[in-house]
Amino acid sequence: MLQLDIPEVTVAEAAAAVTLRMRRQPHSNRIEARTSDMKAAEVLYLAAGRDGTLHDLSRQLPATGSDGEYLEFAYDGGLVTSKAGRDIYDQILAGAPYERCPLCGRGIATTLDHQLPKSEYPILAITPANLVPACNKCNQRKSSKDPADETETLLHPYFDSLGTSQWLEARIHEDSPARAEYFVRPGGDWSATFTDRVVRHFTFFGLRRQYALAAAGKLATDRIQHSGLLKRAGPDELRLHLQEAAAGYWSTAGNTWEGALCNALADSQWYVNGGMNEI
Ligand SMILES: [Zn+2]
C-alpha cells in the first residue's frame, strides 16, 4: 500500500551478475542465451505496468519452452545467493522506505516478492521491476496464482498510485479498552475498478485485522503519555500532539496505520477528553 520508485537496475545487469561466477555451466549458458528474451520481456512488463494491463501480459511474453527451470534458477541460485546477484537483490530491497513493507505498510521488508510469480512467469524471474520488497508474512501470503483480470491484480507498489490524500482511515470505538477499526476511503479520482483493487488488496493481506491488532498495542503503550499530557496541558494540546504525530507519520510514508490512528484519536472528543483512562 506504499508506492515505491521502479528500481533503476535492469534485467540485463541482473543477468550479467547472476551468471558472473555461476558454477553450473548449463544453467549459466541457458540464462545467457535467454538474456535478450528477458530484456524484451522487461520492456513489455514496464509498458504493461504503466498501462495497468499486467493481467494480460502472459500472451505477449516470449515463450519459455524448456528453459523455465534455468530461468527460475537465475533467481534462487543467482540473485539470492551469489555475491554479485545479492548486491542487486539488496539494492532493490533498499527501495522500501525505512524498510517498511510496501504491501502491508507494517512489516519489515526483508525479502523480495515476485509480483507476477516466477513459476508462471520464469522469463520475469530476475526482472527488477517484477521484484518488490516485502515482509515475510506478505511474501508467504502471496500465492503463485496468475491474476485472471484487472480486479484480481494486487496493487503494484511500482505502478499503482494511491494519490496524495488520506485514504486509510480509522474509527475509534469508545469501548473499554478503546479500539480502532480501519477502512479504506476511496480517493476522489479513483475509478470503481481501482477502488475494488484497493479493497481487495486490503482484504487479501488481512490489513483490517493486522492494523486493529497493532493499534491495540499502540493504544495501550501511549495511554500513560496521553493521559499525562491531558492532565498537564488539556484536551487542545493533546489533540495538537496527536495531529503532529500523524503529520510525522505522513511525512515518512504517507498513509500508515499509525498516522490514521493518530488522526482518528485527534478527532475523537471522547478520547481527548479522557477516554484513554478507560483503557
Ligand atoms: Zn508486509
User: Ligand 1 mean position to 178 CA, how many Å?
Assistant: 25
The answer to whether 259 and 180 are in contact (CB under 8 A) is no
How does pLDDT run across 25-59, given as a tens digit for each residue? 788 899 999 999 999 999 999 999 999 999 899 88
How does pLDDT run across 162-203, given as a tens digit for each residue? 877 889 999 999 988 889 999 999 988 899 999 999 999 999
User: Ligand 1 mean position to 33 CA, how many Å?
Assistant: 35
User: Ligand 1 mean position to 142 CA, how many Å?
Assistant: 10
User: Ligand 1 mean position to 171 CA, how many Å?
Assistant: 22
- Tell me what the mean pLDDT of segment 114-132 comes to: 95
User: Ligand 1 mean position to 100 CA, how many Å?
Assistant: 8
- Tell me what the mean pLDDT of segment 135-150 comes to: 80
Residue 145, pLDDT score: 66
The answer to whether 224 and 18 are in contact (CB under 8 A) is no
How does pLDDT run across 85-102, given as a tens digit for each residue? 999 999 999 999 889 999
Residue 45, pLDDT score: 97
User: Ligand 1 mean position to 227 CA, how many Å?
Assistant: 32
User: Ligand 1 mean position to 114 CA, how many Å?
Assistant: 13
Closest CA to 211 of 244, 171, 177: 171
